[in-house]
């Protein structure tokens, strides 16, 4: 029997399911499923879902045994930790999530070593693996395999297939507001349960593709977000693989569930409502260091024409006009757009001070780690809270305990 070269069949894991960086997502999903069927049929193993839901592991193999062979993972983690520390030493702060992803990718590249060319000496590798686990490698196979057991292939029922589709759709939509066919296929490969394990490799790969197409249908509440091309693509320029133009990238069509789109539509309707509490024109202008009439006039002129004029609080007039409009408008959502370094955080902090001066309360919400650090370090806002504050009764001019969330 050929020694095992891995204990997992998952995305990006070491061993039998390892794939090259040039493979597409659907190739990885299909390859992983073929390996899972092959091992199930040849060795009679059973599978259990990983704790993170991203794939399966052979049932009976302990986490300590998996970790003993995860040298590559440990090497990448150590390298990423060193690179993250270097980043923090250079910039004076820990990397945020996006920066950490870049650092992890760099760590993967730096710690990758080429494989030796030539024929693989399986006996030598088996001896090395046995030493890695203290001479107990053979015991694992005896514990998790059913050698000689006859594994009968059974076509999963329609209900089992539909259940796998529904579970995959729920999980992929929970991760992404919109997603691609390859995202759906990868998620399906993780939700296909043990009833699919005994299928021959070719049959399992076919059913994976079939379920993916069924999952993308209107019957399952999925909407294609790509509009038809206009004018129509000339036949010589149509790609045979997917019927799209040869000048488009394959696999980029995006989908979403109707429930997600309905929720987004409802959010848009709520955002357009005009029922928010406001500050009076004079109160807002006074705390921004300007005259209300001047700010009203600025709202009707180009922002570029006022970028050199300052209010008594140090804001540029265009900045003060932007936050003045948000503080005095009954719209429940106001949007201020500006490039990096234009003073969005500073402007939002000035608005927060004006709102708090009226007796209100502000909850700061940011999409990145840098913005709250700038606000706190610059003294623009004392702290960013993440707790629910009860709204106070009152009407349009009520400056009581009204809430004013500020998203930077």
Q: What confidence tier does 153 reach under pLDDT thresholds 50, 70, 90? A: confident
Contacts for 313-320: CB closer than 8 Å, 24+ residues apart = 313/287, 313/288, 313/289, 313/350, 314/289, 315/288, 315/289, 315/290, 315/343, 315/346, 315/347, 315/350, 316/343, 317/290, 319/343, 319/346, 319/347, 319/350, 320/288, 320/289, 320/290, 320/295, 320/347, 320/350
For residue 375, the model assigns a pLDDT of 53
For residue 240, the model assigns a pLDDT of 87
Q: What confidence tier does 15 reach under pLDDT thresholds 50, 70, 90? A: very low
Assess contact for 76 and 104: CB atoms under 8 A: yes
Which is nearest to 406 in space by CA: 285, 276, 269, 265? 276
| Residue of higher predicted confidence among 336 and 405 | 336
| Residue of higher predicted confidence among 402 and 406 | 406
Distance, CA of 373 to CA of 345 (rounded, Å):
10
Q: What confidence tier does 70 reach under pLDDT thresholds 50, 70, 90? A: confident
SS3 152: coil
- Burial category of 236 from C-beta neighbours within 10 Å (exposed 0-12, middle 13-18, buried 19 and up): exposed
In sequence order, what are the residues at sequence separation of 6 or more whose Cβ sits closer than 8 angstroms to the Cβ of residue 344? 336, 338, 408
Distance, CA of 119 to CA of 113 (rounded, Å):
18
In sequence order, what are the residues at sequence separation of 6 or more whose Cβ sits closer than 8 angstroms to the Cβ of residue 206? none
In sequence order, what are the residues at sequence separation of 6 or more whose Cβ sits closer than 8 angstroms to the Cβ of residue 383? 376
- Full strand arrangement of the beta sheet holding 8-9: 8-9, 56-58, 47-49
Strand partners, 406: 364
Count CA atoms closer than 13 A to 188's CA, side-chain side: 31
For residue 296, the model assigns a pLDDT of 92
Paired tokens of 355: 């709102």
For residue 392, the model assigns a pLDDT of 36
SS3 352: helix
Assess contact for 365 and 354: CB atoms under 8 A: no
Which is nearest to 107 in space by CA: 83, 72, 89? 83
**Gyration radius (Cα) of the chain, Å:** 29
* pLDDT tens by residue, 168-180: 999 999 999 999 9
DSSP secondary structure, 102-151, as one string: HHHHHHHHHT--PPPPS---HHHHHHHHHHHTTS-HHHHHHHH--TT---
Q: What is the mean pLDDT of residues 113-133?
A: 82
Taken as a whole, the chain contains a residue count of: 408
The beta-strand segments (E) located in 188-261 are: 222-224, 254-257
* pLDDT tens by residue, 19-37: 333 234 445 566 788 888 8
Paired tokens of 234: 């000339």
* pLDDT tens by residue, 106-118: 888 877 776 777 7
Per-domain residue ranges for the chain?
281-407
Please determine, for residue 353, whether its predicted confidence score (pLDDT) is greater than 60: yes
* pLDDT tens by residue, 238-280: 998 878 899 988 888 999 999 999 999 999 999 889 999 999 9
Paired tokens of 80: 């990423």
SS3 223: strand
- Ranking 27-31, 97-101, 285-289, 293-297 by mean pLDDT, the lowest is 27-31
pTM: 0.64
- Ranking 62-76, 323-337, 349-363 by mean pLDDT, the lowest is 62-76
For residue 33, the model assigns a pLDDT of 84
Distance, CA of 375 to CA of 365 (rounded, Å):
11
Residue burial 56-71, b: 16+ Cβ < 10 Å; e: rest: bbbeebeeebbebbbe
């Amino acid at each position: 029997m050929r020694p095992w070269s891995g204990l997992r069949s998952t995305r990006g894991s070491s061993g039998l399911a390892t794939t090259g960086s040039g493979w597409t997502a659907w190739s990885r999903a299909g390859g992983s499923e073929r390996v899972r069927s092959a091992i199930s049929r040849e060795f009679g193993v059973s599978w259990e879902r990983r704790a993170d839901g991203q794939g399966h592991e052979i049932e009976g193999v302990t986490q300590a045994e998996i970790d003993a062979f995860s040298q590559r993972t440990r090497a990448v983690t150590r390298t990423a930790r060193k690179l993250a520390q270097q980043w923090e030493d250079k910039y004076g702060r820990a990397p945020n999530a996006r920066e950490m992803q870049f650092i992890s990718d760099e760590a993967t590249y730096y710690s990758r070593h080429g494989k030796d060319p030539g024929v693989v000496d399986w006996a030598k590798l088996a001896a090395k693996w046995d030493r890695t686990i203290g001479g107990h490698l053979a015991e694992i196979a005896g514990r998790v395999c059913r050698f000689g057991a006859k594994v009968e292939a059974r076509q999963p029922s329609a209900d089992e297939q539909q259940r796998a589709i529904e579970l995959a759709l729920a999980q992929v939509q929970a991760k992404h507001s919109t997603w691609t066919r390859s995202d759906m296929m990868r998620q399906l490969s993780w939700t296909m349960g043990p009833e699919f394990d005994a299928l021959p490799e070719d049959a399992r790969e076919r059913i994976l593709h079939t379920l993916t197409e069924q999952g993308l249908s209107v019957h399952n509440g999925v909407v294609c977000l790509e509009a038809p091309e206009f004018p129509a693509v000339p036949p010589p320029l149509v790609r045979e693989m997917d019927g799209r133009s040869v000048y488009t990238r394959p696999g980029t069509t995006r989908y979403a569930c109707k429930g997600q789109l309905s929720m987004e539509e409802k959010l848009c309707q709520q955002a357009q409502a005009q029922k928010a509490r406001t500050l009076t024109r004079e109160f807002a202008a006074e705390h921004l260091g300007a005259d209300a009439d001047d700010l009203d006039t600025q709202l009707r002129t180009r922002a570029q024409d006022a970028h050199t004029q300052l209010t008594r609080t140090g804001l540029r007039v265009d900045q003060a006009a932007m936050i003045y409009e948000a503080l005095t408008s009954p719209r429940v959502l106001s949007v201020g757009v500006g490039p990096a370094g234009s003073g969005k955080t500073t402007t939002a902090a000035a608005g927060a001070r004006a709102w708090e001066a009226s007796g209100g309360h502000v909850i700061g919400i940011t999409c990145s780690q840098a913005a709250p650090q700038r606000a706190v370090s610059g003294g623009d806002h004392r702290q960013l809270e993440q707790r629910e504050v009860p709204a106070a009764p009152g009407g349009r001019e009520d400056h009581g305990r009204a809430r004013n969330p500020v998203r930077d």
